[in-house]
């Protein structure tokens, strides 16, 4: 009986301390729309399992990819290195950023542009000389530089996913449903950084249209992608491009046929949509250790959108043990390359292995 009382006392103290401790977030209620059905272009398939696995077991969370003029693939890993895949796919550490490299793209001069979650916007020359391009905008330092794309105009477009939470705490930002993100432009000509959009919900991947008339930017926890007009009568205006997606949109890319590829590290989770209806419950969950909070699960999913934002196809790994938790789907040459913040490998899938991809972007979109 004595030990039972002691055990109950310990449980009381621990539980009381948990319930009375302040939450790290002040979340908002959000009513998520009903998730789209997984049918039509979203019908479950195993196309991701047709991919070649690159550097399997040799990469630590390779989040994104970029290809240089010589056809070599680069990726950034959790230990702060830019890794280059040499001929034959052998990975070699190329340059350490001193932070956590996420989004990657090459500019016209062959410099690798890096959105580094800890150091900001970086440029690395072909010789490996590193330069910090930007650390802040409007006096507010970047806390989570995330996606990046060099536009046809030569400007560098990138995101600061959250002005409040760093990468290690990104789950908190997704739970809080607070608009802490920004879309930005860096001008190599003037060296100025401009905020194009603020008050975004975890601003993630970004890509410029082939003609450079607009940008797409992912709002991960809202399951949607926005379009920001750079030219024309709508210049400076934002609108919803694709809404109620089947998962959490991450990095974005566009191919020569004008299809927009969206990597999704996880499917929608009913439990999370339920949490979003109860701010007090989200605040409570935020106090839990990260491993007890809702996680991404194990599922591989990438979708392609047409010019109207409709889903035209998807590639999946329903078992989630080959390619899953995908954070990027980049078109390099005739192949799609996949990166992940959760695995130890890259994937490569020929576009021709995906039914209908040689027929333009006209397949009937899924109901959204």
**29 within some domain:** no
Q: Is residue 64 part of a domain?
A: yes
279-324 pLDDT tens trace: 999 999 999 998 888 777 899 999 999 999 999 999 999 999 999 9
Give residue 126's domain range: 37-353
Question: Is the Cβ–Cβ distance between 359 and 93 less than 8 Å?
Answer: no
- Does residue 361 lie within any of the structural domains? no
Residue 293: its pLDDT value, please? 81
Burial class (CB within 10 angstroms; exposed 0-12, middle 13-18, buried 19+) of 215: buried
> Does residue 71 sit within a domain?
yes
Per the domain annotation, does 49 fall within a domain? yes
At 243 the pLDDT is 98
Choose between 347 and 22: higher pLDDT: 347
pLDDT at residue 5 in the model: 33
Q: Is residue 160 part of a domain?
A: yes
* pLDDT value of position 358: 61
Count of domains observed in the chain: 1
Residue 67 lies in a domain: yes
- 117-169 pLDDT, tens digit per residue, is 999 999 999 999 999 999 999 999 999 999 999 999 999 999 999 999 999 89
The CATH number for 182's domain is: 2.120.10.30
Reply yes or no on whether the pLDDT at 76 is more than 60: yes
Is there a domain that residue 297 lies in? Answer: yes
Condensed to tens digits (0 to 9), the pLDDT of residues 13-56 reads 334 444 556 899 999 999 999 999 999 999 999 999 999 999 99
């Amino acid at each position: 009986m004595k030990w039972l009382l002691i055990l109950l006392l310990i449980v009381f103290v621990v539980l009381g301390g948990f319930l009375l401790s302040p939450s790290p977030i002040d979340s908002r209620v959000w009513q998520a729309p009903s998730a789209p059905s997984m049918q039509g272009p979203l019908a479950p398939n195993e196309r991701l399992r047709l991919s070649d696995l690159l550097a399997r077991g040799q990469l630590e969370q390779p989040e994104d990819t970029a290809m240089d003029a010589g056809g070599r693939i680069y990726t950034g890993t959790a230990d702060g290195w830019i890794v280059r895949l040499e001929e034959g796919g052998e990975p070699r550490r190329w340059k350490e950023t001193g932070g956590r490299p996420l989004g990657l793209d090459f500019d016209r001069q062959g410099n690798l542009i890096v959105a580094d979650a800890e150091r900001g916007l970086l440029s690395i020359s072909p010789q490996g000389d590193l330069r910090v391009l930007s650390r802040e905008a409007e006096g507010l330092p970047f806390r989570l530089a995330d996606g990046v794309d060099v536009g046809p105009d030569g400007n560098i477009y990138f995101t600061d996913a959250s002005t409040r939470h760093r990468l290690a705490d990104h789950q908190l930002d997704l739970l809080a449903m607070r608009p802490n993100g920004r879309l930005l432009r860096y001008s190599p000509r003037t060296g100025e950084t401009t905020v194009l959009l603020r008050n975004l919900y975890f601003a993630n991947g970004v890509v410029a249209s082939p003609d450079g008339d607009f940008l797409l930017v992912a709002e991960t926890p809202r399951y949607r992608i926005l379009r920001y007009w750079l030219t024309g009568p709508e210049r400076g205006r934002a609108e919803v491009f694709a809404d109620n997606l089947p998962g959490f949109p991450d990095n974005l890319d566009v191919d020569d046929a004008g299809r927009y590829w969206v990597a999704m590290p996880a499917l929608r989770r009913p439990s999370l949509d339920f949490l979003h209806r109860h701010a007090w419950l989200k605040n409570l969950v935020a106090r839990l250790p990260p491993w007890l909070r809702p996680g991404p699960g194990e599922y591989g999913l990438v979708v392609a959108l047409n010019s109207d934002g409709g889903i035209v196809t998807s590639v999946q790994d329903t078992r989630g043990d080959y390619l899953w938790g995908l954070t990027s789907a980049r078109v390099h040459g005739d192949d799609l390359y996949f990166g992940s913040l959760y695995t130890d490998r890259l994937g490569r899938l020929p576009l021709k292995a995906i039914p209908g991809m040689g027929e333009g972007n006209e397949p009937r979109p899924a109901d959204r």
